[in-house]
Structure 1
Amino acid sequence: MAVTPPTDEAFLREVDEELRRDQLTSFWTRYGRWLLAGIGLALAVFGGVLYWQHRQTEAAGVQGEQLSAAIDDLTAQKTDAAAVPLETLAGSDVGGIRASAKFSQGNVLLAKNDLKGAAAKFGEIAADTSLAQPFRDLALIRQTSAEFDTLKPDMVVTRLKPLVVKGNPWFGSAGELVAAAYLEMNRKELAGPLFAQIAKEETVPASIRQRAVQMAGVLGIDAVDTVEEKKAP
């Protein structure tokens, strides 16, 4: 029997498939090694990122242990033993470690009554934009406290007024310094109510609230009743 010649449709399909095979072979010959190189590079980068993250986690863990040991030394009054590791940790790539080490260095300087050196160390933290804002805000308060006697009162107010907001975690600490600056400016009408606000705020540490009650009373504002009402069931 004679073989039936292929229809136009079957013939075109065969030609199309053959053309695609030729194109694929040509493409692979021309670009195959570059594709393999690109895939290899992507895998290497991905592996490098994973390794870097692992090393960062390991480094943070080691540095955390070193920081804890240094703080233990400070607690035991072994400031010389803590000095070298704290200096190293103050250059850490981990923000929390770096900030904590610098805070510790600043506290050591305060203990030595080196107010200028302590203020400079706290100032480094406050100016470090890579750190979380709570670290920077606390550092600004500590810096201002160390510099308080050398600053003009209006500078204290300008620095810390943005933190003197109800609900801010540093309301009590910042507010106390701002109120003291108001007194330096002979603005008792501003200092008294601010001390009273601090006394009323339950989130403020008890020691600061107690001082605020006393200062408000000295300035003619009775904040004791309000505080006692807050304590009542």
Structure 2
Amino acid sequence: MSNTDSFIEEVSEELRRDRITRLMKRYGWLAAVAVVLVVGGAAWFEWQRAVERDRAEAFGDAILAALDAPGDGERRAALRAIEGDGAQQGLLNLLIAAEAMDDDRDAALAALSAAASDTALPQSYRQLAELKRVILGGTDIDPAEREQVLSGLAQPGQAFRPLALEQLAVLRMEEGESDAALAILTDLLQEPDVTESLRRRVRQMIAALGGDIDAA
């Protein structure tokens, strides 16, 4: 390669580097902003997911606490005090209507049935509506249907397992199977998520069946 060619190549390389430097100075901030947006967007998305998850869990816990209140009036007041939007508010309205079943029981059962089959609602809400429908319907619902619904809700890991087990025990009592009911109730007291209110009810049922409360 001649000295002239070498000189031209060096000059061209310097010009390329100079051009890249100028371009970076002029537009490099765009790349930096893009990186910040990508990283920040991912962090924002994760934060939003965490917030929504916490809100959903808090909403579910509030409903469980409200439904565990001892009196009809207290349950209704507790449900009305819960804040929700969209599907949450729709479910709250159904639960409040269900608590007023003495005024229009058929309408309450129909509303709960609609909620239980509403695929727009989260599964946990549909399960809660189904459980409430079975509880309110009681002996008016076919025993086989109650058995099927409650058995599904009482599976390990299900959110409403303790309440479903309680209702399975009630069903066994209605069928005259006291020993089976006692076995369910005794096992229920060993569950980790049993509230104090439910624990009291279970002990009362065990006593009514002639079981040993101290041994339970």
Match of 1:115 in 2: 105
User: Quick check: 1:163 aligned with 2:148?
Assistant: no
Match of 1:205 in 2: 195
Match of 1:97 in 2: 89
Q: Kindly tell me: are residues 225 and 191 of structure 1, through their superposed partners in 2, closer, same or farther at Cα, counting changes over 3 Å?
A: closer
Q: Retained in 1: the 8 A contact 2:109–2:136?
A: yes
Q: Can you list the C-alpha shifts for 1:69-121, whole angstroms capped at 9, x where unaligned?
A: xxxxx749xx9xxxxxxxxx9xx8x32232223323333x3252x22211111
Cα offset, 1:201, TM superposition: 1.8
Q: Retained in 2: the 8 A contact 1:193–1:216?
A: no
Match of 1:51 in 2: none
In the aligned structure 1, how far is the partner of 2:170 from the partner of 2:200? 15
Q: Retained in 1: the 8 A contact 2:94–2:108?
A: no
Q: Retained in 2: the 8 A contact 1:126–1:136?
A: yes
Q: Give 3-state SS (helix, strand or coil) of 2:189's partner.
A: helix
Please tell me the root mean square deviation across aligned C-alpha atoms, in Å.
2.7
Cα offset, 1:223, TM superposition: 4.3
* Percent identity of paired positions between Structure 1 and Structure 2: 23
In the aligned structure 2, how far is the partner of 1:144 from the partner of 1:155? 9
User: Quick check: 1:214 aligned with 2:214?
Assistant: no
Could you tell me the TM-score, scaled by structure 1's length?
0.51
Which of 172, 176, 182 is the equivalent residue of 1:186?
176
Q: Give 3-state SS (helix, strand or coil) of 1:186's partner.
A: coil
Flag structure 1 segments of 5+ consecutive residues without an equivalent: 1-73, 80-88, 227-233
User: Quick check: 1:196 aligned with 2:183?
Assistant: no
Q: Retained in 1: the 8 A contact 2:169–2:182?
A: yes
Higher Cα Rg, which structure: 1
Could you tell me the TM-score, scaled by structure 2's length?
0.55
In the aligned structure 2, how far is the partner of 1:111 from the partner of 1:186? 27
Flag structure 2 segments of 5+ consecutive residues without an equivalent: 1-75
Q: Retained in 2: the 8 A contact 1:163–1:171?
A: yes
Q: Retained in 2: the 8 A contact 1:200–1:209?
A: no
User: Quick one: higher RCO (CA 8 Å, sep 6+), 1 or 2?
Assistant: 2
Match of 1:106 in 2: 98
Cα offset, 1:155, TM superposition: 2.5
In the aligned structure 2, how far is the partner of 1:153 from the partner of 1:103? 23
How do residues 1-233 of structure 1 correspond to structure 2 at under 5 angstroms?
A: 75=77, 94-107=86-99, 109-110=100-101, 112=103, 114-226=104-216
Q: Which moved more, 1:129-138 or 1:202-211?
A: 202-211
Look up the equivalent residue of 1:99 and give its one-letter code: L
Cα offset, 1:181, TM superposition: 0.8
In the aligned structure 2, how far is the partner of 1:224 from the partner of 1:129? 44
Aligned residues between the structures: 137
The runs of at least 4 aligned residues of structure 1 exceeding 4 Å deviation read: none
Q: Give 3-state SS (helix, strand or coil) of 1:200's partner.
A: coil
